[in-house]
Amino acid sequence: MIGVRKIVATGALALAFGLGSMAAGASEFINVLTGGTSGVYYPLGAALAKIYGEKIEGARTQVQATKASVENLNLLQQGKGEIAFALGDSVQAAWAGNEEAGFKKKLDKLRAIAAIYPNYIQIVASKDSGITDLASLKGKRVSVGAPKSGTELNARAILEAAGMSYKDLAKVEYLDFGESVELIKNRQLDATLQSAGLGVASIKDLATSLPVTVVAVPAAIPEKMGAPFLAATIPAGTYEGQTADVPTVAITNILVTRSDVSDEEAYQMTKQLFENLDTLKAAHKAASAIKPENGPKGLPIPLHPGAEKYYKEKGLL
């Protein structure tokens, strides 16, 4: 298990899907950059790689597990991926070249394929910890996501909006979703903050293993955070033992490509995404929120011309 975690943490784990010979050219290769294997990006990315391999003629595809948003965007800029999942605020920071967020310079090659489903910032604590709200995180042991991942950037933003910082916590761990859950099960952590689609496997696992509290984030917090953050609700029953709706913060996920991906490849990646939504929904229910009409909306970077062509064909631009 430790070996697998190391591979995931370095972003080296990759599974090959699709058709085409090993000698296929760069234009026929699509590397899908995702996140940790216990999150939502990975199963959706695996499904997307399969779709592209089967539906895009001559394509050879691969799905790569990474530390998610920030690493994905940097890899795209370096030409080491063709399409990536990323959080909207990370994309915004990458376009601005926000060094604090993990971007040493403006990532000017980034282009959007589509706004997809919202991520929900989900703060979950063991019942034994006594954590009931944001304020009671003070003095507790909390995992805030992999260092400078989209989740970790969300953690900084939400604590700041609540008038808190990491200094208020007894211990801060920078761990992926699966590792965070394991430490809570072992009573080595009190809570985890995970930015993901609803029903993320890691929190489901935790909630079936021990009694948990899904921590409410009042609407005043996303209002203070501002765009691209929004008030949202984790519906009752999303996780075992969660008997009531829980208010929280949401942020749109974006599928991002690079400017030097050909117009035809970007067009096909956009088209096959929306024409095979049933396959994505079967991979994870978060995909139920993906809709073509939302694809070109609220993007902090320019659309790729290939994606733009698809939206214009459908009358969505």
Structure-model confidence comparison of residues 13 and 225, the more confident one: 225
| pTM for the structure as a whole | 0.78
Instruction: Give the span between the Cα atoms of 49 and 159, in whole angstroms.
Output: 35
Give per-residue pLDDT as tens, 272-302. 999 999 999 999 989 999 999 999 998 999 9
C-beta neighbour count of 237 within 10 angstroms: 11
Give per-residue pLDDT as tens, 83-122. 999 999 999 999 999 998 999 999 999 999 999 999 899 9
Q: Which of the given ranges, 16-20, 21-25, 92-96, 100-104, has the highest pLDDT on average?
A: 92-96
Which amino acid would we find at residue 317?
L
C-beta neighbour count of 28 within 10 angstroms: 18
Query: Given a cut of 70, is residue 13 above it in pLDDT?
Result: no
Across 157-178, average pLDDT: 96
